Amino acid sequence: MRIDSAEFWAAAASPEAIPPARHAEIALAGRSNVGKSSLINKMTKRRRLARTSRTPGCTRGLVFFEINSELTLVDLPGYGYASRSQQERAAWKRLVEYYLETREELAGMLVLVDVRRGPEAEEMELARFLESRGISYAWVATKSDKLKRSKLAAARSRLSERLAPARVLSTSAVKGEGLDAVWAWVEAAVADGLDG
């Protein structure tokens, strides 16, 4: 996908603050240290569109980015290793579930996992949640640059077997690998949503 414009549009820390949708939306979810912000920046060719930090858990609510005035990427708060209180993490969970259950413009979700570790219980629970609501999703295996080529092939194969029939896309935000496949999935999900 050619990116002509990409900009921060809105943020929401509570269900009441979620803005009315402008376009079809693709959400991104994953653990706090899986590289969501880095992937968004690489996808949009903007170095600082999404905030990156050495401290996991910087995304504290839903963050909306408008792409080409025709699509919205929604960065969901990370989970797992975020150094936040139980109360704050519970509020995030309620916010995310409300968004997923009520957002008619949600065309699909990219669920990010570290290619070296694969999905844990929370990712699998999220996948079941999405399936139960008929929300299209794909797995994005991040940080493929961290593995040698032979180990990467084996890790991809294990993930594909474990997560079938869902699609597994492998990416590197450092090298920019796999972004065409991610964008192709996004465009297909949006097209399917429009047809539906």
Please report, as a single letter, which amino acid is at residue 149.
R
Name the more confident of 31 and 24: 24
| Pairing of the two strands 24-30 and 106-114 | parallel
Percent of the chain with pLDDT over 90: 65
Per-residue pLDDT tens over the stretch 75-132: 998 776 455 677 777 788 889 999 999 999 999 999 999 999 999 888 999 999 999 9
Q: What local confidence, expressed as pLDDT, does residue 57 receive?
A: 46
Q: What local confidence, expressed as pLDDT, does residue 149 receive?
A: 86
End-to-end CA distance of the chain: 22
What is the overall mean pLDDT for the chain?
89
Q: What local confidence, expressed as pLDDT, does residue 91 receive?
A: 82
pLDDT band at 32 (very low <50, low <70, confident <90, very high): confident
Which has the closest alpha carbon to 39: 90, 96, 78, 11? 78
Query: Which residues lie closer than 8 Å to 193 by C-beta, 6 or more apart?
Result: 24, 105, 107, 108, 136
pLDDT band at 14 (very low <50, low <70, confident <90, very high): very high
Per-residue pLDDT tens over the stretch 137-159: 999 999 998 899 889 889 999 99
Domains and CATH numbers, the chain: 6-195 (3.40.50.300)
193 pLDDT higher than 90 = no
Q: What local confidence, expressed as pLDDT, does residue 80 receive?
A: 60
14: tokens are 């509570």
Q: How far is CA 127 from CA 40, 49, 68, 156, 178, in A?
A: 21, 27, 28, 18, 21
How far is it, in rounded angstroms, from Cα 69 to Cα 81?
Answer: 34
CA 60 to chain CA centroid, nearest Å: 15
Please report, as a single letter, which amino acid is at residue 76.
L
Mean pLDDT of 162-176: 90
59 pLDDT higher than 80 = no
Q: What local confidence, expressed as pLDDT, does residue 184 receive?
A: 97
Q: Give whichever of 12-21, 47-56, 145-154, 156-165 has the largest mean pLDDT.
A: 12-21
The answer to whether residues 24 and 72 touch, using CB atoms and an 8 Å cutoff, is yes
Q: What local confidence, expressed as pLDDT, does residue 39 receive?
A: 94
pLDDT band at 54 (very low <50, low <70, confident <90, very high): very low
Q: How far is CA 62 from CA 27, 65, 74, 184, in A?
A: 9, 10, 6, 24
How far is it, in rounded angstroms, from Cα 94 to Cα 91?
Answer: 5
